Amino acid sequence: MGFSGLVAQMLLLRELFIVFSGNEFSIGIILANWLILEALGCFVLGRRAETARNKVVSFAAITILFSLSLPAAVYIIRILKSILGVSIGESLCLLPMFYSSLLILLPVSLSHGALFTFSCKLYSTYLDHSPASIGKVYVFETIGTILGGVVWTYLLIIYLHAFQMAVGLALFNFIVLLILLIHHRVNDLPQKIATIISILLIVFSIHLFSSGGVDKLHRTSIKVQWKDHNVVHYQNSIYGNICVVKSGEQYIFFYNGIAELITPIPDIGFVEKFAHLPLLSHPRPERVLIISGGAGGLIAEILKHGSVELIEYAELDPSFLELIRRYSTPLTEQELNHPKVKVRPIDGRLLLRTTQQRYDVILVGILNPSDLQTNRFFTEEFFALAKKKMNQNGILVIGLPGSLSYLNDELRNLNGSIFRTLKTSFPYVRVFPGEGLNLFLSSSSDEVLRFNQERLIARLKEREIKVNVLVARHIEKILHPRWQDWFLDFIAGGSRKINYDFRPLGVFYSISHWNSIFAPYLCGLFRFIEKLNLWFFIVATVLSLGISFIIGFQKKRSFNSGIPLCIATTGFAGMIFDLAIIFTFQSIYGHIFSWIGLLVTSFMVGVAAGAMGMTALLSRVKVYLRILVNIELAIIGFSLVLPLIFHILRPNLVMPGVSIGVVVLFLAISLISGFLIGAQFPIAAKVFQKDEKNLTDTAGILYSSDLVGGWLGGVVGGVVLLPVLGLMGSCVVVFLLKMFSLIHIIAPLGMGFGMPS
């Protein structure tokens, strides 16, 4: 159950992540929907475990539903954009992300949640009749989850495509189910039918593999997904999804569903403006660094400047560069094989941290901080790093979404925040507003501000550069002084907040802007979220406590209601800790999907260790409530320590040569957070459950509380807390919630209701 759940979750997460254009905040939405559906399955379907006449057959039916719905879900995800009428290369808005993932995950997550409650009942019926059996099943599920994480990381994502994983997992489940049915064989017609069905499904799954049916499913889904496009290559690397489409002699390279490269005929207007404006602003550019997006025209334009001696081109994903070479055109072949060009398959920030080189121009070919991976190139930390690696008159070039006609608060906030973030490192920032793209040139020299039309045209002639779009009339329009004043007036009422690695407001503003265009009905919600601060949550917590003291704590049942609340807030905390660790890793290193399996596995190792340790302790102690309170205090303390660890150690985390130490640190933090979360469930079940009569209800209530809390953590944490309040602010919110739940446990005891053991 645990093994299958982890693999299914990671598989669907990856497929949805691709369809959602690689936005990491969709991780919170996907995980949240998975958890809430598991909670419903556990609490609604799982309640039938008490009344089902043949519990083994019911368990078999749910297992079959779970196993068959997984490959179906993968297929639906692949064709989701076609169903929703969304064009290839277009991102989904927040609301479609939410409801589409909810509906797709419904049969898989619902059935998997029900399996937990049925497993608890089967285990208590046949093996262990004590209330502690719930904790033991929780431990067994966690161990399976750990195995699933290891197998996923080191085997499945490396060697198998999505349908091989989905059908292979179904085959594994059918075999295990058949063993269970044979082991608990009874002279019962429904069980005989279940056994026959299991055998037939095993035979059918093996036939799909042997006949090539699994590969055919894979190819068919890609064909439907990319309808009207000639897909010549489709690949999942450890960094993301790559799809190469051919139209005539033109190749389009998609990365996580977004068009990244068009060759051999690029967008001439864009590449000329992006290459020549900054290089002509510099008196003599010799060393140029391009971070992403260099191939397909940009390098070719830069090479027209005879003074350029070196162009370093950094791309994070080596597979992307390999495919550019495999499906080469005369343009890309000339660019990548030119003696002045040095291609580096490396993260741009890592290159800047480790190189001894100094650059005259650094061009960031990422034009929108639409996710955490790209936001890393629009933060105060990156701008400070880039400044250190630039020569005296060096220029940093970035682009952002822009418009000369469609002006709204979201676009104003995005450009205003990044402009003011640039100003923390660079005293001089020149902006060239445009329709679709605002170009920012930042420097420690005022040369970028003094650059005018006459000087540009003179340097074009002096360097003998031939252009197609950047002609005199176009130059006059772009460089007119009024545009800088217009832009400063435009952003005057916008956000003044700085974009940081650990407070990625750039991502939030980017998502807000996208939703304002395609889902304007959500503008009010995003504007409300943008104004949230810690005081809102502090006041809300104090008011809630006041209401609880007046009403809730006067009822004797308030103590029992405090236990599910405790578990729910722990589920919320666990999700926030998990997302915080994942997002922090991504914000620093930019390749979370090569590590997410290990981080999740480490977290689950901690959960297993905490649950096993606490389950073993239950038989030797009597002061259950005191232990529960101590765990609450430990989680409260950890919520404050976690951000401090990352903030204090951050200078060492970004230094070269500490990769092993970094891995150990992140895995250790994941382990500790998991241990605290896992340790609380068995002791809470023991306090809440006093006898065997309501074993299933106890499992359902507490497990559902855990999952509901996790769902809120995924949605609120992934979309609101982490991007708007940042790492520190999000953990302070966890601190407030856990203090609230702790008071709900201990306050009724001080009102004369006694101290339960």
pLDDT digits (tens, 9 = 90+) for 330-386: 999 999 999 999 999 999 998 999 899 999 999 999 999 988 889 999 999 999 999
Residue 173 has pLDDT above 60, yes or no: yes
Q: What is the C-alpha to C-alpha distance for residues 603 and 587, in angstroms, rounded to an integer? A: 19
The answer, yes or no, to whether residue 752 has pLDDT greater than 50, is: no
Give the percent of the chain with pLDDT over 70: 91
Give the Cα separation of 299 and 363 in Å (integer).
11
Whether residue 310 is predicted with pLDDT greater than 90 in this model: the reply is yes
Q: What is the pLDDT of residue 560?
A: 63
pLDDT tens digits, one per residue of 111-139: 998 888 777 777 766 666 555 566 677 77
User: What single-letter DSSP state applies at residue 498?
Assistant: P
Those residues with Cβ within 8 angstroms of residue 6's Cβ, 6 or more apart along the chain or in another chain: 144, 145, 148, 149, 152, 600, 604
Q: Residues at the annotated binding site?
A: 315, 347-348
Binding-site positions for S-methyl-5'-thioadenosine: 315, 347-348
How large a percentage of the chain has pLDDT more than 90? 50
Query: How far, in Å, are 271, 338, 423, 438, 460 from residue 467 at the CA level?
Result: 10, 20, 32, 20, 9
CATH of the domain spanning 532-757: 1.20.1250
Mean pLDDT, to the nearest integer, of 207-218? 95
C-alpha to C-alpha distance for 139 and 145, rounded to whole angstroms: 10
SS3 of 309-373: CEEEEECCCHHHHHHHHHCCCHHHHHHHCCCCEEEECCCHHHHHHHCCCCEEEEEECCCCCCCHH
Answer whether residue 751 shows pLDDT above 50: no
pLDDT single digits (tens) 671-691: 999 999 999 988 888 888 754
Residue 680: which H helix or E strand, with range? Answer: helix 659-688
Burial of 256 (0-12, 13-18, 19+ CB in 10 A): buried
- Tokens found for residue 95: 């609301």
Least confident of 76-80, 429-433, 593-597, 653-657: 653-657
Q: Name the DSSP letter for residue 389.
A: T
Helix segments in 531-623, DSSP class H? 534-550, 558-589, 596-618
Confidence check: pLDDT of 500 > 70 = yes
Mean pLDDT is lowest, of 267-281, 331-345, 604-618, for: 604-618
- Judged against a pLDDT cut of 60, whether residue 755 lies above it is answered with no
Helices (H), 80-210: 80-84, 94-126, 133-151, 157-159, 162-183, 189-210
Question: What are the residues facing 259 on neighbouring strands?
Answer: 254
- Of the listed ranges 5-14, 40-49, 167-176, 343-352, the least confidently predicted one is 40-49
| Cβ pair 628, 177 in contact under 8 A | no
What does the pLDDT read at residue 406? 77
Which H, E and C letters describe 698-728, residue by residue?
Answer: HHHHHHHHHHHHHHHHHHHHHHHHHHHHHHH
Q: What is the per-residue pLDDT across 54-106, written as a single tens digit (0 to 9) for each?
A: 778 888 999 999 999 999 999 999 999 889 888 877 778 888 899 999 999 99
The answer to whether residues 574 and 710 touch, using CB atoms and an 8 Å cutoff, is yes
Angle at 445 between CA 441 and CA 450, to 5 degrees: 70
Residue 247: Cβ-neighbour burial (10 angstroms; 0-12, 13-18, 19+): exposed
pLDDT at 53 over 60: yes
What average pLDDT does this structure show over 640-654? 88
* Interval 421-469: pLDDT, tens: 999 999 999 999 988 899 999 999 998 888 888 888 899 999 999 998 8
**Which residues are CB-contacts of 587 (< 8 A; sequence separation ≥ 6)?**
372, 375, 376, 501, 502, 504
Do 711 and 98 contact (CB within 8 A), yes or no? Answer: no
- Lowest mean pLDDT across 26-35, 42-51, 241-250, 551-560: 551-560
Q: Which is more confident, 94 or 312? A: 312
For the packed helices 726-746 and 624-653, what is the interaxial angle rounded to 10 degrees?
170
Q: How does DSSP classify residue 156?
A: I
What is the per-residue pLDDT for 658?
47
pLDDT for residue 133: 61
pLDDT per position as a tens digit, 456-493: 889 999 999 999 888 877 788 888 888 888 999 999 98
Question: What is the C-alpha to C-alpha distance for residues 398 and 414, in angstroms, rounded to an integer?
Answer: 13
CATH homologous superfamily, domain 266-502: Vaccinia Virus protein VP39 (3.40.50.150)
- Return d(Cα 708, Cα 40) in angstroms, integer: 9
**Structure confidence at residue 750 (pLDDT):** 56
pLDDT beyond 60 at 554: no
How far does the chain reach from its first CA to its final CA, in angstroms?
Answer: 33
Mean pLDDT of the chain: 87
